[in-house]
Amino acid sequence: MADEQPLDATLPVGVPEKSGEPATGSTPEQSSAPEQSSAPATDAGADAAEPKTLSMPPRWSGAAAIPAAEPRRSVWSRLRDRIPGAGRAPEDDEWPTMPAVDPWADQPTQVWDEAYTTVAAPVSPVPPAPVSPVPSAPASPVPPMEMPPTRLDGPTPAGAAENAAQAAAADGRPDRVAALNARLDAASAAADVVEKKAAEAAKVAAAAAAAKAEAARAAIAKMIADKAKAKAEAEAKAKAEADQKARLGMPAPGTYPPPAGGNGLPPLAPRKPLFTGGGWRKPGNGKGPAAKTTVTSRPPVQRRPPMDFAPPRNQVPAPWLARPPKRRGLVRRVLRRLTMLTIVAVVLCCGGPLAYAQFPAARQFPVSANLPDSFADLSLRDTAAATKAVDRLADQLQQSGSAGNAFAGVYADGNGKRVTLYGVTGFRLTPGSDARAQLDRLADELKLADVTDYDTGIFGVHEQCGTGRLDGTAVVACTWADHGSLATVLLTRRSLEESADLVAQLRDEVLEPVI
């Protein structure tokens, strides 16, 4: 840090001193000194009449000097400056030899009074003394301390040697810049040549690719034409061979071979015997044996099976044989059929309701599920989330092997009680085992316990309930199964007995027989 300089504490022109306050840079003793001075009145009046002409020194802001603006340089000159050693003047390298500049030079520095810089020694308590109306004489002011002048750091021997080496190397920089420019021009020319060669090579490659494509198309067309020509020749050859075989198999007209015996003409009919006066004689001249006549052999006579003669229609049986039974009349047949149809109709009309009342399977199948809008103190919640959840549960029930029409719904009241119902309708041969299997599928997911069978009072209806937890909430899971339906009910905030009674009532409300 630079040495501190004394600060001139004089006020600027036109600033009056406040009464009762000491001037800046003076001690209280100095402010009270004029009151006790015995200077002449004339000097005091002259000083009061003459205004002060001293001015305050300029304030130092502590910022460095702003360099003067230079003209705008070209892009090439700015790019060239980025290259080490290019475009720098030799005198620019002399900046390490410049002496250090003291920013506090020629600037006033405030000097604190002795009262602010000297630590007072502890004073022992003294007895109170009478207050004197005359103030004590002020202490003498501290004279300003003279500071040595600011020293300038000169260049070291090593820095001087380095500067000399840089100055020597700066003499050959213009040649280096010229060589660098030449190298840049050569590189640009080489890049242009490479670009032209690449363009020419691309054109040659495109022409070669087009020629190859054209040759490939011509080869493909030639191959297709050769295949068509070969196929046509093969078809023509096959047709010629077929015609030749046909001609060889059938002789030409007039060239039929003669039969094995004869001249190829049909045999002549034998002559009839002639009647003469001496009797019948064979044709001939009578001098020798009659001419032999060729008689063709006849085809063999086809043997036919002997004909079975049917017995006479009105054959009278022998009296010792049993007579066949007589056919009943038309009236009897009609009466018998009407009687049978009447009996079947009576059985179907009266036996159907009787069987429906006696057999539970007849009462429980077929049925349809119709969810009521409200039940007891519960109301059906028709929300998107509830619908999606129950549909997913119904699909899981169908995927587990339960065939039939699925139904599902969610009931709730204003007190937080919830009833979730989902199931399927369809014929079931063993409803008891189906109910147990459904609870077994839910046992792992709901961690069921205390599974109990409940009697609904209806033959063929099986109901089971157990307690578990679903998503951290205690639930009661109940399942009913009969010959026409299977359903699962999840209830919250209810006991086992209450849940079983509510499920039995819900089954009666949901299921409707289909007649």
* CATH code of the domain covering residue 412: 3.40.1000
Indicate whether 398 belongs to any domain: yes
Domain C-terminal end among 159, 182, 217? 217
Q: Along the chain (515 residues), what's the average pLDDT of each consecutive run of 10 residues?
A: 46 46 42 42 48 59 71 83 64 60 70 56 60 54 65 55 59 72 86 90 91 91 92 92 75 55 61 58 52 58 67 68 71 89 87 67 81 88 72 70 77 88 88 90 89 88 93 92 91 92 92 82
Long-range CB pairs of 61-68, under 8 A, 24+ apart, other chains included: 62/103
Q: 469 and 509 in contact (C-beta within 8 Å)?
A: no
Q: 432 and 459 in contact (C-beta within 8 Å)?
A: no
Residue 428: CB atoms within 10 A of its CB come to 24
Q: How far apart are the first and last CA of the chain?
A: 114
| DSSP annotation string for 340-394 | HHHHHHHHHHHHHHHHHHH-HHHHHSSEEE---SEETTEEE---HHHHHHHHHHH
Strands (E), 187-324: 274-276, 279-281
Same domain assignment for residues 458 and 380: yes
Number of domains, the chain: 4
Indicate whether 46 belongs to any domain: no
- Sign of the dihedral through C-alpha 438, 427, 399, 503: negative
**d(Cα 17, Cα 19) in Å, to the nearest integer?**
6
Q: 432 and 441 in contact (C-beta within 8 Å)?
A: no
Indicate whether 54 belongs to any domain: no
Same domain assignment for residues 211 and 112: no
Largest CA distance in the chain: 231
Across the strands, what pairs with 512? 368
Same domain assignment for residues 355 and 377: no
Same domain assignment for residues 408 and 468: yes
Domain C-terminal end among 322, 343, 364? 364
**d(Cα 386, Cα 75) in Å, to the nearest integer?**
73
Q: Find the domain containing 179 and state its range.
A: 172-217
Q: 486 and 423 in contact (C-beta within 8 Å)?
A: yes
Same domain assignment for residues 348 and 395: no
Amino acid at 237: K
If you ran DSSP here, which 8-state letter would residue 276 be given? E
Indicate whether 130 belongs to any domain: no
List C-alpha distances in Å: 55 to 24, 25, 58, 59, 103. Answer: 14, 15, 9, 12, 22
Indicate whether 85 belongs to any domain: yes
Same domain assignment for residues 15 and 150: yes
Indicate whether 51 belongs to any domain: no
Amino acid at 225: A
**d(Cα 124, Cα 144) in Å, to the nearest integer?**
32
Same domain assignment for residues 381 and 353: no
Main-chain dihedrals φ then ψ at residue 454, nearest 5 degrees = -125, 135
Same domain assignment for residues 152 and 195: no
Indicate whether 180 belongs to any domain: yes
Token pair 């009462």 in the structure block, residue: 363
Indicate whether 342 belongs to any domain: yes
Output the six-digit token pair for 233: 């020749």
Same domain assignment for residues 399 and 440: yes
Predicted local distance difference test score (pLDDT) of residue 415: 86
Same domain assignment for residues 84 and 211: no
Same domain assignment for residues 199 and 334: no
Long-range CB pairs of 490-498, under 8 A, 24+ apart, other chains included: 490/418, 490/419, 490/420, 491/417, 491/418, 491/419, 491/420, 492/416, 492/417, 492/418, 492/419, 493/415, 493/416, 493/417, 493/418, 494/417, 496/450, 496/452, 496/465, 496/466, 496/467
Domain C-terminal end among 217, 235, 252? 217
Same domain assignment for residues 161 and 210: no
3-state helix, strand, coil in the chain (%, to 5): 40, 15, 45
If you ran DSSP here, which 8-state letter would residue 416 be given? S
